[in-house]
Structures are given as C-alpha cells and as structure tokens.
Structure 1
Amino acid sequence: GAKEFVFPRSEKYPVFYHEENSSAIYIGGEAKLYYYDFATYENYTEDFPVKNEGQCMMPGSSDDSKNYLTLVEKYGEGMLVCGTGACAPTCWNLTQRKESTPWDGRGIAPFTPDSNTLVVVDGHDIYSTIKKSQQNGKIPRFRRVRGGGELYTSDTVMQNPQFVKATTLRHEEPHQDKIYYFFREDNPDKSPEAPRNISRVAQLCKEDKGGTSSLSASKWTTFLKASLICVDPVTKGNFNWLQDVFFVPASNWRYSKVYGLFTNTWGSSAVCVYSFEDIDNVFRTSRLKGYNGPNPEIKPGQCVSSGQHTPSETFKIADSHPEVEDRVEPFSPTKSPLFHNKHRYQKIGVHEVSASDGHRYNVLYLATDKGSIHKIVELPDGVQNIMELQVFSKKDPIQSMILDHKRAMLYVGSTDKVVEIPMDMCRVYRNNCESCLLARDPYCGWFNGTCQSVYLNREVRQNLNLDSWRGKCQKADIKEVDDYQNISVVPFSRYYLNCPIESHYATYNWYHNNSLIKTCNTTHPQQDCFHFIQNVSHIHYGHYVCISEEDGFKQALVKERLINRLRFMSQKGHATMTFGSWLQLLLMVVLVELFH
C-alpha cells in the first residue's frame, strides 16, 4: 500500500510540510517548492530564485550563493515559505499558488543552512532560535519574532544549546498559556564522571511583556529550565542525550504527554514519557538552584495577569538563577523508561489507535540510523516490537517522519523522495490467522478468513490483552504452505535459502532432510532468516523447510527441494541423448569446474 514521490532532483537540505487529514505534501528544496498529492497525483513546482544576494560574513561555501528553503508552514489563509536567500534570508506568503512580494526573513530563516534551528508557528505568532544578524556571535537565543513584541532569552541562561523541539500549551486562563521547548546543553559539572550533556525543558509565558528596565525590555522575564531524567532503575543506565520528542495532546492540558527519545554514549536508545502536569509542578514548586534568598511576591517563572510586566526584582533573581533544583522524572508509577534497547533511534512519532476491544493503544514509530522504522506497541504487559519497515532500499537516512493521525498514514522523507505508508499494513501477515493474531498489531485482526484492518471492520478478532490467543483460530498443529518448490541448482555454485521473518517473538528454524541446520535469533529485528550454501555439492541436494514457532504454534513458511541441474537435464533428455549432447554436458562440467 506504500506510494512514493521521487523529487525531480536530489535535494541537499529538504524540508517537509503535511497538513493533517490531507493526502498532499510540500517539500522545500533549493530555490524550489514541490507539491504532490498522493490521492490525485496532482503535482507542481514553484520557483523561488535568489533575488538580492546578501553579503556572507564567512564566504567560501557553495551553499552561500543559493536559496535553500528552510521553512514551509501554514500561516493565516495561505502558506509561509522562507529561505536562506544567498545570505539574505527572505520569506514569501503563498496564497493559492500566488506569491506575495518577498519580505525580510531575518530571524525566521538562517543566513546559511543550519541544523540547530527551531521555528514554531502558532497562529500568527512565530518563535525562533535563528539569529537576526550574522554579527550576533555564536550565542543562540529563543526569540519571539512575530506577535506581541519581540523578545529573546538572556545570553547567560543556556550553555551552547542544541534545540530539539518546542510546543505551546493552552491553559484555562489565557494569561497562563505556556511555551515549552526541549534542548540539550553543555553540563556545567566538568568532573570526569559527569555526562558531557544535559537534556532540558524550558518554560516561558506566552503573554510575557518583557522587563521594565531598558536592559530587560526585550528579554523574556519568565524563563526557567529543568533537567529531564531518563535512567533505567535496574541497570542504572543513564540516557542523557535527548534526540527527539513527540507531543501527545489531551483536551485537558494536564494530561498532555511528551515522549522523549534519548540515546547514550554506547549507542543504545530509551523512550521516557513525561506529563505536562509534572513539568508544570516542577517549575511551580521547586526552589531555584543556588538561590537561598527570600522569594518575592511574584515568584520566578510565574505568569502575571494580561498586560502586566514581571517585577524587576523577580526577573533579576530568575535571570541569575535560571535552573530549578527539582528534576523532571518520567510519568508515574514506575518513573522509569517505557523501554530501552540496543538500536540507535533518531526520530519518534506516536499514534493512538482504537482497537476492536474498545481500548486505545499507543503505537510508537521509531526511525533508526539505517533508514528503517520500528513499529512498537504499548500493551498491558509491556511494549512489543511488531514490525521493521525498511523504507529506503539504499538505507538512506530518514530526514523527516510525519504522522497523519486522522488518515493513519506515515510520510517519510529522504533527500530523494517522500513515501506515504499506511499504518494498517495487515497484508504482511499473509492472511494467516495465527500470524495475524500473534503479531499483536492493534491495527489488524482476523475476520472471515482474512487479516483485516480495524479501520475497515470493527468486528475483527484481536489478541492485545493478556488472554490466550488459543481457540481464536482453527486448531492446527502445523500449517503447511503449498508443496515443495523444485529449484534446480548447478553443482559448485552458491545458493541462498531465504525465510521471511513475520514476528520478532518467533523462533525460525531451517531443516534439511528433517535435520536442523540453522536457527535465527530474532531479538534484533531483521527482515529475513538466511541460510547460505557456499559451494553446492551432492550432500546439499534434497528437501529444505523453514518452520516458525511461537507460543506453541508452528507453521512452515518456505519449502524448497534443491535438485542437481545437470542430473535433472540428463534425466529429462535421456531417451534422445546423443554423443554430441554428452560432449556438451562434459564441456559444461569442465567450464563450471574451471570457473569455480
């Protein structure tokens, strides 16, 4: 069910925008904006050439003279498109494919392509970590560049930050609305045993009006930061390198969650889940690190009533002590990672699916550093890795992964293409009842002889809770595929036997003439169970079968009979075999031997 759109040319720094519940995607490239609709196949390209080349402070890169689009977002009634503009950052408003007059995009687009940038468009407000001037030095700031007056963070509150993601959160009272952003920064503790980086969450009040003095008038006055903890309590393994976050909103902001994806120095990954209620509590109730003085009436980080300014006394304390003592721990009751494993994940997405039992299950999509995506489901008895999708055949890095929750689609982008993948890929279970149920895939269930999507049929049988799956399928000890497939193989050649892996919880065994010759370990997700014959000889011919076994259920997935091609040919033409034919056959054997 996957579809792909290949770009007219490879793009070095692509950016992607997809509107929820649509079938189209926008891709920003070098001086071009591509549009593609996966449902109607409509596509077009808009050109955004360099108009007024700027003066690069550090010239020398070929990227300096090009306009790389760095932002494509919904803005008002149309689209906001911004690019580097050859060191002259420029933005355009795009309405029904009509470009507005270009306008100064400094602070919204960088001067040259930069990975450490964050832009949040929230209605008509725009927040950004992009510097407005090339002379601004190397101290990044979090800014409000559009809406309610420009503000930026003090230069001392973050140490070499690497920005990950930001979101806004609506409260019951508008003046309490918050901005939260997640980042890594250098650890002030330089002792050898201390981690080099600390993962953080920062808060700001959306209605912050800046300070009352001339020095603080353009500064955020409600900034506070806290540490995010992701530690396995059993092994004491610390996952301190925040890679990505995914926000799962709720109608009540307190129940909104953030899924944090962390890695450690050994290349393992962990997912820790935090609630915004816990984050809010830490900022509201914790003492400030290093501050022992009395608390002013308006506490640091507290949002004040609309139109009011934070008192200068409060701002001075927060500005010199921006970190709170308490750390944000994962969601109760365990306060530990949801899971951790040996894979190096780079991106995370979370989709909630309503199963046939009426319960809702969270499915995590995790992009690896090898161009694949692991599909992991949260179940009552823990998480289960149900599938690995190799999205790009050349293991191209995944540049972007966007989830469409309403249409249950994944949009995965590389530098060459974007792929639309349905989340309910029930065909992979080969219309086999046991495979369909044992996968414990909340999108799929068994009904009327086929493995079907819950979106098409709510009556399907599933196996998601702790009940036994036995009895939900017709009882059968071993389910055979069709009879053996005859494969003729030349002696002395190489041959691969290939068995598809459908479940990461099954054992896969290859048998040759009823003797076990290979067992596949599926603890590390892999696509297939291979058995390689380096040099085919008479002992290798015969019957091969690959059998998977899980929870007492066995099935034969592949059955092959290897036969000697030379003997097969001689038997086939035995009655009419002439002296010339024998010479040809002898010559073939000699050539094969020489070639080998």
Structure 2
Amino acid sequence: CRVCGFGAWLYSFTLSCLELKSTGTAHHFAFLLNSTDYRILRMDEDHDRMYVGSKDYILSLDLNDINKEPLIIHWPVAPQRRTECVLSGKDINGECGNFIRLIEPWNRTHLYVCGTGAYNPICTYVDRGQRAQEYIFRLEPGKVDSGKGKCPFDPKLNSVSALISTYPFILYAAVYIDFMGTDSAIFRTLGKHTAMRTDQYNSRWLHDPTFVHAQLIPDSAEKNDDKLYFFFREKASEMGQTPMAQSRIGRICLNDDGGHCCLVNKWSTFLKARLICSVTGSDGIETHFDELRDVYIQKTQDTKNPVIYGVFSVSGSVFKGSAVCVYSMADVRMVFNGPFAHKEGPNYQWVAYQGKIPYPRPGTCPGGTFTPNMKSTKDYPDEVINFMRNHPTMFNAVYPVHKRPLVVRTNVDYEFTTITVDQVAAADGNYEVLFLGTDRGTIQKVIVLPRDDLQTEELVLEEVEVFRVRSFFMFPLHFQQLYVSSVVGVTHLALHRCDVYGEACADCCLARDPYCAWDGKSCSRYSANQKRRSRRQDVKYGNPIRQCRGYNSNANKNTLETVQYGVEGSTAFLECQARSPHVSIKWHFQKENSDRRREDDVTLKTEIMDAKNISLSSQEKI
C-alpha cells in the first residue's frame, strides 16, 4: 500500500496506512503497471474529467466517480526513434520514452498534448468529445507536429507553459529547447504571431534557470497591458564570487512582437526581478532562502491583484531549511517601475542605472495605457531596444508582505517543496489553509493566525504521508479534494478528517481545524448552514471552556478535568491519547490526608502509591 500513515510532526498519535484508508478520506491510483511518472494533471470542469499524463500514456478520469475505470490512450514513440535515443546514450534511467509534459484544453472538443518523444519532442491533438457522456478519448490521426519550444527533450528538466485563449491560441512555454539541455528560453509558438524567444545564450537574461510557474496577470482594464509572469530560479554571481541560486519573477507583454536589429524575433519587453525570502537574526544578518521551489497564485475578487505564495529552500549544505513567503502584486509592480540594474563589466558590481531612461519606458506594452499611439514593439526606437537587451534586470528586489516569511522551518530533516492554498469559511472568520508538501513524501496542513501584537501564530493541523518518494506535485483543490501526483501514481485526499480529533467537544475545539466543528454529537465537517446553537468551533483561540459548556460536566474556569481513582498499593494502566497537537496533558497525584497535588510527567503506566485520586487536566498550550 503506497498511501501510508497519518500523524507525525506535532501529533501524539498516528494512523496506519490501513487505518487511513479505512476512513475513506484518501485513495491512491497506480493505473498502469508498465508506466511511471504521473506528473501532469489537468482538470476539465466542463466535462467533469481529470487528465493525467505519464510515460507513454494519457488518461482521462471521471471526477464524479474517481474509482471508475479510466479512459486510456497509449502514445509511445516509434521503435526506430527509441533505438536512436538509446544509441545516443540517453536511456540510463529509462528516459527514452514519451513523457507527457503538457496537456492544455484547445477547444470544447480537443486537448493539445506534448511529450518528450524520446529526446525528440512531439505534440498532437486529443479528441475528448463534445460531452462527457460520449466517453470519447482518442488521438487525432495525422496531426503530430514538433514539440520544440513547447516541451523539453529531457524528462528530468522542468518546464512550464500557458495556453492563452485568444483565437487562434498562443502557447507560451519556459523550456530547454535543445538535445543537450543547455539552451533555455521563454518561447512563444502557435497562433498568428511570429515565434519569439529570449535572447539566446545571454546569461544576463537567463542563466541556467529552473522554471517553476507561469501565470497571466492583467495590469489594468486595458487588454494591451496584459503581461505573462514567469517564476524561476537561476544562477547569479557578483564580482569574483561563485554563482549562487537566486529566485526570480520575470514578465513579458503578451503583444510583444520583438524588436529590430539585435532583437529580431526576440522579446523586447522581458524584465526580471529578484524575489527575497529571508529572516533576520539577532545579529542583524539575513538568512536567505534562495531556491524557489513552488508558487501558488491565490485569486482574489480583483483579478489584477492576486496573492502570490512562494515556497523556498536554502541553497548550499550549511543547514537545511525552508520557508513560505507571501507577495503582493502592488510590491511587484513597484519594483518593475523602479530603477534598472546596471553593470559596466565583469569586475564591477551591480548598481542602479543613473542615466537617461529612453521613451517609451523599457518593458512597457505597445498600445497600452502609457503608449496608446504605438501599435507594435517593432515601432520602438533603437535606444529602447538596445537598453532592453543590456538591462533586463531590476535593481530593487521584491520583498514579502511584512518583510518576513509566513512559515519557517529550520533544524528539521525535511524541506517544503510544493504548496496549495484553500480559502475556508469558519464560524469565527475566514482562514487560509496551506497544504505544504515535503521532500519526505508528507503533506502538512497549516494555518497562520494573526495576533493582537502584530505577530502570528502558526498551527500545524495535521501531517499526512502520501508517498514514500521524495518528489511529488500538488494541484489546485477541486471538489473539496487535494490531488497529488508522483512517479508511482496519483492520490486524492479529502481536506479534512474531523472524526480523528476524538469523540469529545473539547478535543474537537482544541484541534482548531477550520474545516471541523462540534455539532452536538460528534466532530464533523463545519457547515455555515448549521444552526449556530448546535455548532461549536473556535479556530482563533481554541477555548473549550467557552465553547463546550454543557458537553463537559467537569469543566471549570481553567481546565477540563477527569478524575480517576486507584486502589492503594496496586498498579493501574493510565492511557491518555491527545487528539490535538494543541493540548498539554498533566497527571496530578494527591496523597492521602493532603490538600496539595503534585504534578508529574505523563506516563502510560503509573504505579499508584498512597494515592487518594489522580486527575488528568487538558488545556491549550500557550
């Protein structure tokens, strides 16, 4: 069984693999015995389907009945191509297959799918039918085209893509576009526009990048201002220093047609800035989490201002650590509107450019708010094009909200690698729940609560071991389920397991899980439609004294107390399993003819010597 235990970090109990499966909150799928690498998932809400890309296969699952037999397309490479790949020495770890790396909806009836093609990327169209009830899922014959600039040659290299739904569709991809994996580019293909890319082998633009995420974020009500943002990490170096990892946010205008002279068929609006995620020690020195691992864009009512969540880890081997930082689009735009970075030569450090900025400002979109009379980037003057080629980097960096990480982990044996965020409405307010994947195959469910002193309180609600592999991918929540993919299969998890918090109101309240509330009989899924008198939930403070009167007969002002009596000189088995990581448990011994109670550590087996009574107190940790 590959879906394994529950519990761990702050919990004092665990659920085994079989116990977790018996709750009905987690299901694992390993669809094909001869396939691996179920990396790509794509939700299709119109058809209620989920598409899965693996090695040589494309699958279609019914979201209404995930256990139903999937529709399967077998799409291997030709035997001759596989032979050529093996002879080139590229099959050390089984890379000479067709690893699906891109699945995008093309229209209401077709998907656009690309695979590595045994180091010769290929793309095609998949007919998914007009309606879900048709159960059509097949390759379109004779419609295979090149995947260069859309999909990597090497399945181990990350790529990100965005299919922009203008007509005809335009595909933007950040990808390595050569056999050896040395030429990285942000590429534009398909559609009526000419193929575009970043400046080739120019380390000022891209230097050994690892691409993480791509997202269209509008700048204003004017469509010509729309920009596509890319998140990646790359190597950067100062004078005489060894190149170090730096995290970046880059952007391009969607209507960029390239320049002239030195930037023909190359982006003339590409800019990038550094993303900072760091903590300051007592000595004033910053510890940087330099390596961006994953990004989640939380949509808001204002489409121009989503919230950006980034997961970072520490580069180097001095210590292991990771963090989650949150950024605002207002701060991002302020940096891109600020000074450009300038460097005279290899022996100079980066400084803010002090010269005259040409008009229109480099990075501005043609026909937009500030350039209404310019219809194309090909109309930009030579000085703008030359400036762009040599100054793609902003001098200022983007700092997180409140200038500090939201979550930090140091001195632990794992790192965060992926993130998904859910907005949850609870009885005492709205909360953002973070699902953080780790490199040991677990997912932590975390909330961060604001405090009155401008500080925050982090709560780890649960930790679930999903795979016994180091690398996996999480996807946006759908139908109150979290979908996770890895080399061994796909797992979908319910967002809550309220019944594991125990059978008492206090246990449910102390869990402080915004998904769960005491309904008068059990700890169950919270619903805003329930009668207020019958539900008990306190996420912010977790105060069972206030919430659970009437459900705990021994409740008093400070503790919830249970009294257990023993026989003098005998041995008793005292079992107490905390159902919340936010509970402290203390045993109190009161000797005969004494009014004073002595506090001892918790033990599972305690010998009762001259004891009048033993009481157990459960209270919130402070």
Instruction: Please list the CA deviations of residues 526-550 of structure 1 after superposition, one character each: whole Å capped at 9, or x if unmatched.
Output: xxxxx799xxxx99xxxxx996733
Give distance in 2, aligned partners of 1:325 and 1:552: 45
Residue identity matched to 2:58: L
Partner of 2:89: 59
Residue identity matched to 1:158: L
Partner of 1:216: 263
Give distance in 2, aligned partners of 1:24 and 1:401: 17
**Paired residues of 1:212 and 1:311 also in contact (CA < 8 A):** no
TM-aligned CA distance change 1:134 to 1:5, over 3 Å: closer
Q: For residues 213-252 of structure 1, what are the structure 2 equivalents within 5 Å? A: 213=261, 215-235=262-282, 236-252=286-302
Q: 1:438 aligns with which of 510, 524, 529?
A: 510
Partner of 1:50: 77
**Paired residues of 1:506 and 1:548 also in contact (CA < 8 A):** no
User: Is 1:130–2:175 an aligned residue pair?
Assistant: yes
Following superposition, the deviation at residue 196 of structure 1 comes to 1.7
Q: 1:203 aligns with which of 251, 268, 272?
A: 251
Partner of 2:426: 355
Partner of 2:392: 322
Partner of 1:263: 313
Residue identity matched to 1:346: T
Give distance in 2, aligned partners of 1:315 and 1:548: 71
Instruction: Please list the CA deviations of residues 492-525 of structure 1 after superposition, one character each: whole Å capped at 9, or x if unmatched.
Output: xxxx9997553232235699999998659xxxxx
TM-aligned CA distance change 1:341 to 1:247, over 3 Å: same
* DSSP 3-state at the match of 2:545: coil
Partner of 2:579: 502
Partner of 1:566: none
Identity %: 27
Following superposition, the deviation at residue 139 of structure 1 comes to 2.9
Partner of 1:397: 470
Give distance in 2, aligned partners of 1:117 and 1:464: 39
Give distance in 1, aligned partners of 2:407 and 2:189: 38
Residue identity matched to 2:91: S
**Paired residues of 1:197 and 1:240 also in contact (CA < 8 A):** yes
Q: Relative to structure 2, which stretch is displaced further, 171-180 or 79-88?
A: 79-88
Residue identity matched to 1:247: I
Instruction: Please list the CA deviations of residues 164-195 of structure 1 after superposition, one character each: whole Å capped at 9, or x if unmatched.
Output: 11111123111110111111111222666x88
Residue identity matched to 2:337: R
* DSSP 3-state at the match of 1:199: strand
Partner of 1:525: none
Q: TM-score of the superposition, structure 2-length normalised? A: 0.75
Q: 1:464 aligns with which of 539, 544, 562?
A: 539
Partner of 1:142: 186
Instruction: Please list the CA deviations of residues 239-275 of structure 1 after superposition, one character each: whole Å capped at 9, or x if unmatched.
Output: 1221111111223244311111111242211111111
Q: 1:99 aligns with which of 122, 136, 139?
A: 139
Q: 2:236 aligns with which of 187, 193, 202?
A: 187
Give distance in 2, aligned partners of 1:183 and 1:349: 18
Count of matched residue positions in the alignment of Structure 1 and Structure 2:
517
Partner of 1:420: 492
- Pick 1 or 2: higher relative contact order, CA cutoff 8 A, min separation 6: 2
* DSSP 3-state at the match of 2:383: helix
**Paired residues of 1:386 and 1:440 also in contact (CA < 8 A):** no
Give distance in 2, aligned partners of 1:344 and 1:277: 29
Partner of 1:339: 407
Q: 1:168 aligns with which of 192, 216, 234?
A: 216
Residue identity matched to 2:182: K
* DSSP 3-state at the match of 1:360: strand
Q: Relative to structure 2, which stretch is displaced further, 432-441 or 51-60?
A: 51-60
**Paired residues of 2:502 and 2:579 also in contact (CA < 8 A):** no
* DSSP 3-state at the match of 1:400: strand
TM-aligned CA distance change 1:546 to 1:471, over 3 Å: closer
Residue identity matched to 1:204: I
TM-aligned CA distance change 1:500 to 1:19, over 3 Å: farther
Following superposition, the deviation at residue 277 of structure 1 comes to 1.7
**Paired residues of 2:150 and 2:189 also in contact (CA < 8 A):** yes
TM-aligned CA distance change 1:217 to 1:497, over 3 Å: farther
Give distance in 2, aligned partners of 1:17 and 1:482: 53
Instruction: Please list the CA deviations of residues 318-376 of structure 1 after superposition, one character each: whole Å capped at 9, or x if unmatched.
Output: 21121111111112xx221112123511111111112223x321110001111111111
Following superposition, the deviation at residue 440 of structure 1 comes to 1.6
Following superposition, the deviation at residue 118 of structure 1 comes to 2.0
Following superposition, the deviation at residue 482 of structure 1 comes to 12
Give distance in 2, aligned partners of 1:465 and 1:516: 29
**Paired residues of 2:259 and 2:385 also in contact (CA < 8 A):** yes
TM-aligned CA distance change 1:465 to 1:86, over 3 Å: closer
Unaligned runs of 5+ in 1: 485-495, 521-530, 540-544, 554-596
Residue identity matched to 1:308: S
Partner of 2:105: 74
Q: 1:177 aligns with which of 211, 226, 231?
A: 226
Following superposition, the deviation at residue 457 of structure 1 comes to 4.1
Q: For residues 292-331 of structure 1, what are the structure 2 equivalents within 5 Å? A: 292-305=354-367, 307-309=375-377, 310-331=380-401
* DSSP 3-state at the match of 1:121: strand
Unaligned runs of 5+ in 2: 1-24, 129-136, 344-352, 369-374, 567-572, 592-597, 609-613
Give distance in 2, aligned partners of 1:399 and 1:466: 34
Give distance in 2, aligned partners of 1:166 and 1:233: 30
**Paired residues of 2:561 and 2:617 also in contact (CA < 8 A):** no
Partner of 1:29: 54
* DSSP 3-state at the match of 2:334: helix
User: Is 1:380–2:453 an aligned residue pair?
Assistant: no
Residue identity matched to 2:468: K
TM-aligned CA distance change 1:64 to 1:506, over 3 Å: closer
Following superposition, the deviation at residue 92 of structure 1 comes to 1.9
Following superposition, the deviation at residue 4 of structure 1 comes to 2.5
**RMSD, aligned α-carbons:** 3.5
TM-aligned CA distance change 1:16 to 1:132, over 3 Å: closer
Residue identity matched to 1:112: D
Residue identity matched to 2:145: W
Residue identity matched to 2:539: L
Residue identity matched to 1:46: I
